Structure 1
Amino acid sequence: MTLSLAAAFCWLVVANLRAMFPSKDHHWRFAYGMMGIGVPILMGVFVQNGLWVAMICLAMAAWIMRWPVVYLWRWIKGRFV
C-alpha cells in the first residue's frame, strides 16, 4: 500500500469519526479543512496508483462529504439551466 493510499484511508476514518459527533455549524468548518487536506491526498493517490484508484477514493470521499457535493451540483445546475 502506498503512502498516499494510507493517507486517504486515514482521511476517510477521521472524516467518519468526526461526523459522529454534533456540531453547532453542522461540520462546515471541518468540511472545508478536510477538503483542503483531501485534494492533495487525492492527487497523490492519482500519481502513485492511477486514475481508477483515485476515482474510487473520490467516490468514497463524496459519499462521506455528500452535502458539499449536493450544494456544488445545485450551484452548477443553477449556472447552466
Structure 2
Amino acid sequence: MPLSLTLASLWVVAAAAVAMLPMRWQWGPGLLLLILAGPLLVLIGREVGWPWVAAVLLAILSMFRRPLFGLARHLHRRLTGSA
C-alpha cells in the first residue's frame, strides 16, 4: 500500500479517536487533523492519482461537516456584516 494511503488510514483512525473525546477536548486535535488534511490530499494526489483525492476529500468533508458548516456561517456573517 502506498505511503499516502497508509497515512490516510492512520488519519481516519486518529479522527475516530478524537471523536470519542469529550467535546471540550476535541477542538485542538480536530483542528490539527483538519490542517493536516490538506498536505495529505496533495500527497495522495501525487502518489495514487486525483480520483483517490476526491474519495478522501468526500470522507474528510463527511467527518468535518458540522464544524465546516459552522465555519462557513461564521465567515458569511463576518463578511456580510449580518447578525
Match of 1:6 in 2: 6
Q: CA RMSD in A?
A: 2.0
| TM-score when normalising by structure 1 | 0.79
| TM-score when normalising by structure 2 | 0.77
Match of 1:24 in 2: 24
Segments of 4+ in structure 1 off by > 2 A?
Answer: 71-80
Identity %: 25
Pairs within 5 Å for 1:1-81? 1-24=1-24, 27-74=26-73, 79=79
Distance 1:69 1:52 in 2: 22
Query: Deviation per CA, 1:10-31, whole angstroms, max 9, x where unpaired?
Result: 1011101110121325x22222
Higher relative CO (Cα under 8 Å, sequence separation at least 6) belongs to: 1
Considering only CA atoms, is the larger Rg found in Structure 1 or Structure 2? 2
Could you tell me which runs of 5 or more consecutive residues in structure 2 were left unpaired when the two chains were aligned.
none
Structure with the larger helix share = 2
Distance 1:20 1:65 in 2: 14
Query: Deviation per CA, 1:27-52, whole angstroms, max 9, x where unpaired?
Result: 22222111222211111001111111
How many residues in Structure 1 have an aligned counterpart in Structure 2? 79
Could you tell me which runs of 5 or more consecutive residues in structure 1 were left unpaired when the two chains were aligned.
none
